Amino acid sequence: MGHLDHAAFGWLTPALSYVMACIGAALGLRCTVRALATTGRSRRNWLVTAASAIGTGIWTMHFVAMLGFRVSGTDIRYDVPLTILSLVVAMVVVCAGVFAVGYSRDRNRALLLGGLTTGLGVASMHYLGMAAVRLHGHVRYDPVLVGLSVLIAVVAATAALWAGLNIKSPLAVTLASLVMGAAVSSMHYTGMFAVSVRVTPSGEVLPGATAMQFIFPLAVGLGSYLFLTSAFVALSPTADEREASASAQRPVQSAAR
């Protein structure tokens, strides 16, 4: 059995991955709050931004954490198409859950359905990402821990959607995002602790790309997207601010006439 190290760089990758999960959650919640205060195309655009932020944050969290994953006795490579597919899955399922909550008239039913769908999608993203791992040996999973990781994903997704519906103030969103970041990180490491590897020494070159060749540049790019989107959301006026601005302009226009 190969020895697994989930934090080869110490606390750097777990801490950074947690930060990325929190940023994605906070941005997604703020965008959902904005979406629910609007209608039409504006609501759709905010919901798409929310889904992309949450999906990107979850995916980036996973693969930043994977930068610290090592197995003694073998190199590790990643299948590029499968890794990209895991990102697409994260985006699509989170988008489905967010839109279900954003447009459904029965919020409770949408919350349960959206939480289940999104949670299973997040778990699928995680295990698709793990399926992309290439190493000299065989990967096995503890079914109990796998089931627990899926349960954590569903609960975390449902809590995130509930927060998007019920939490409005920036302080509450910040606290909720810290909790959500911890839940997503817990899901990831629970899934990773389910892994065991039976190493088969070999001199063959593994297919795929190393983490530094592919995962790291992509994670940096997606992380930059999160920070830029955060700046955009912070600078965009809220519905209340737009209404206040419109109200202030009405007396001026009336006086001009």
CB atoms within 10 A of CB 109: 11
For the entire predicted model, the pTM comes to 0.82
Going by pLDDT thresholds of 50, 70 and 90, the confidence category of residue 191 is very high
Query: pLDDT tens digit string along 135-181?
Result: 888 899 999 999 999 999 888 888 877 877 777 777 777 888 888 88
Query: pLDDT tens digit string along 33-53?
Result: 788 788 888 888 888 888 888
Residue 250: the pLDDT is: 54
Ranking 32-36, 44-48, 85-89, 187-191 by mean pLDDT, the lowest is: 32-36
Residue 256: the pLDDT is: 54
pLDDT reading at 251 higher than 80: no
Six-digit token string for 231: 């700046």
Mean pLDDT of 118-134: 88
Ranking 28-37, 101-110, 204-213, 244-253 by mean pLDDT, the lowest is: 244-253
Mean pLDDT of 49-74: 87
Please spell the DSSP secondary structure of 110-156, one letter per residue.
HHHHHHHHHHHHHHHHHHHHHHTEEESEEEEE-HHHHHHHHHHHHHH
3-state secondary structure of 209: strand
Percent of the chain with pLDDT over 90: 12
Residue 235: the pLDDT is: 60
> What is the Cα–Cα distance from 190 to 206, expressed in whole angstroms?
27
Q: Enumerate residues 6+ apart whose C-beta is below 8 A from 205.
A: none
Residue 151: the pLDDT is: 93
Residue 207: the pLDDT is: 86
